[in-house]
């Protein structure tokens, strides 16, 4: 679309960019370090120019390519999307770093947190109308060393760079379930604009992100969250007890890993919304239901740790309880280390917990299907992540020794889902931005209707 161009930094496999493209943006250029992620992005965005490599080294080349595009087409860049890696973020890092500096100690810095600096250099050279930063909520509490070797909060660094170029910068904590996405996933969405009309509206109390359309329980006149039960309605049943039951031919990617018999029994006996760590006696002659549950307690240093004394054997009949356990070197069984969020079923009446790269492992947090004895399939994860709404190709990608594959391996698919933002939110945000700049309703009424209808249509 003419005049609605975007450059994507830290593009990954292009999952977030799907939403922007659907909203009406032309993805002009992308930048990604990881080869296989970049490969997937190129397959799905053949119209875009992919610049592979570390942004510290590629930012100048990327800027040259984008400027050449603008010169050839006489079009400007509307938006830069920056989704820098979040693994180095921590709720406590800012305070810890400041404390170390006060003590005269040089703090240990995660270099990934400073990737925002070359991204800001790129923005400074390009001066787009809008910039959107997406990261975990912990970004609010993360400090970095700026270009002058001064320790500052990351959001303050962003504002200091953009304010002299007349940008207004606003950070919003966002729950994606509030936009009709059947996944509870929180992110910090920081939006910057130098559009004078929009900045005037912002001073009048308007928002740079669309108004939420859903709420837990439907509070405030909004629609109720889209539950896992509703989102996954219609999928053929699967069972992780055998290969014959763990997959079907259609839909594609509707398959799950087979579990070994012991772990399968842990899951089979886990009630809805429960954790296998609290499973009770299954001895048919006993069925005692009051064995102590699992949990955590603080040690002598005040650190909260999972309990080590949770019983593995029934207090009444002595039978082994179907609780996660491991065998010691001496041959004894002991409760497996972990909190009650592991080996736990999803609540069918809520959106899914956050999908991570471990979505196919029942030992990860809240990963067991709400009613069936298995984890989610990739096909179900596509729905939970709103990927099913978009045409996305998973291959061919390079395999081992450079040999081509027909589709990406499951490990790569899980990885790019776990590290990406649900594309539907980016579509809603993109449409909202275009509505604001094109002098439509600044409160995003058109976007509210779009958000309300999308999943209603999919799940009807």
pLDDT (tens digit, 9 = 90+) per residue, 199-216?
998 888 888 999 999 999
What pLDDT score does 401 carry?
78
**Cα separation of 302 and 279, whole Å?**
28
The per-residue pLDDT for 458 is 44
pLDDT level of residue 138 (50, 70, 90 thresholds): confident
- Rounded CA gap, 370 and 182, in Å? 14
User: The domain 5-224+420-459: what is its CATH number?
Assistant: 3.40.50.150
β-pairing, 214-215 vs 223-224, is parallel
What residues are paired with 50 via a beta bridge?
30
CA atoms within 13 A on the CB side of 3: 3
- pLDDT for residue 104: 53
Task: Give residue 93's pLDDT.
Answer: 47
The lowest-confidence range among 296-300, 335-339, 415-419 is: 296-300
Which residue is it, tokens 């994860």? 381
133 band by pLDDT with thresholds 50, 70 and 90:
very high
Residue ranges of alpha helices (H) inside 204-277 are 228-231, 261-268
* More confident site: 263 or 113: 263
Residue 352: closest CA among 217, 234, 177? 177
Residue 83 has pLDDT above 50, yes or no: yes
Q: Return the percentage of the chain with pLDDT > 70, whole number.
A: 86
Q: How confident is the model at residue 237 (pLDDT cuts 50, 70, 90)?
A: very high
CA distance 307 to 335: 9
Domains of the chain, residue spans: 5-224+420-459
Kindly indicate the confidence band of residue 75, based on its pLDDT and cuts at 50, 70 and 90: confident
Residue 153's pLDDT band (cuts 50, 70, 90):
confident
| pLDDT for residue 184 | 96
Residues 207 and 403: their CA atoms lie apart, in Å, by 49
Say if CB 155 and CB 171 are below 8 A apart. yes
The set of residues, in sequence order, having a beta carbon less than 8 Å from that of 32 and lying 6+ positions away, is 10, 11, 12, 38, 41, 50, 52
Which tens digits make up the pLDDT trace of 17-59?
999 999 999 999 999 999 999 999 999 999 999 999 999 999 9
Among candidates 270, 239, 273, which has minimal Cα distance to 256? 239
For residue 195 the two structure tokens come to: 């559009």
Using pLDDT thresholds of 50, 70 and 90, give the confidence band for residue 459.
Answer: very low
Q: How far is CA 20 from the centre of its chain?
A: 16
């Amino acid at each position: 679309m003419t005049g609605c161009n975007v450059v994507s930094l830290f593009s990954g496999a292009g999952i977030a960019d799907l939403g922007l493209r659907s909203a009406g943006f032309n993805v002009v250029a992308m930048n990604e370090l990881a080869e296989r992620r970049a490969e997937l992005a190129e397959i799905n965005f053949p119209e875009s120019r992919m610049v592979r490599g570390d942004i510290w080294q590629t930012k100048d080349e990327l800027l040259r390519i984008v400027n050449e595009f603008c010169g050839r087409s006489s079009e400007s860049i509307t938006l830069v999307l920056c989704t820098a890696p979040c693994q180095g973020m921590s709720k406590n890092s800012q305070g810890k770093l400041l404390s170390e500096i006060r003590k005269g100690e040089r703090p240990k810095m995660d270099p990934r947190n400073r990737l925002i600096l070359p991204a800001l250099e790129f923005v400074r050279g390009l001066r787009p109308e809008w910039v959107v930063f997406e990261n975990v909520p912990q970004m609010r509490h993360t400090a970095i060393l700026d270009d002058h070797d001064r320790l500052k909060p990351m959001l303050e660094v962003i504002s200091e760079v953009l304010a002299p170029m007349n940008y207004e910068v606003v950070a919003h904590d966002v729950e994606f379930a509030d936009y009709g996405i059947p996944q509870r996933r929180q992110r910090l969405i920081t939006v910057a604009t130098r559009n004078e009309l929009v900045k005037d509206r912002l001073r009048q109390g308007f928002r740079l992100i669309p108004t939420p359309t859903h709420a837990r329980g439907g509070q405030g006149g909004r629609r109720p969250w889209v539950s896992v039960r509703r989102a996954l309605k219609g999928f053929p049943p699967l069972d992780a007890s055998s290969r014959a039951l763990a997959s079907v031919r259609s839909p594609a990617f509707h398959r799950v890993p087979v579990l070994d018999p012991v772990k399968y029994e842990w899951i089979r006996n886990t009630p809805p919304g429960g954790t296998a760590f609290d499973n009770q006696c299954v001895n048919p002659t006993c069925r005692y239901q009051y064995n102590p549950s699992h949990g955590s307690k603080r040690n002598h240093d005040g650190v909260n740790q999972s309990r080590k004394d949770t019983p593995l054997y029934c207090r009444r009949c002595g039978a082994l309880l179907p609780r996660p356990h491991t065998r010691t070197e001496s041959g004894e069984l002991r409760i497996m280390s972990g909190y009650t969020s592991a080996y736990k079923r999803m609540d069918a009446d809520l959106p899914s917990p956050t999908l991570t790269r471990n979505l196919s492992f029942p030992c990860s947090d809240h990963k067991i299907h709400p009613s069936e004895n298995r984890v989610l399939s990739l096909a179900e994860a596509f729905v939970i992540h709103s990927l099913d709404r978009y045409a996305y190709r998973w291959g061919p990608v390079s395999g081992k020794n450079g040999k081509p594959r027909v589709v990406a391996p499951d490990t790569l698919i899980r990885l790019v889902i776990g590290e990406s933002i649900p594309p539907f939110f980016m579509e809603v945000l993109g449409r909202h931005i275009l509505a604001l700049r094109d002098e439509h309703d600044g409160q995003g009424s058109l976007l509210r209707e779009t958000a309300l209808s999308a999943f209603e249509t999919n799940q009807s």
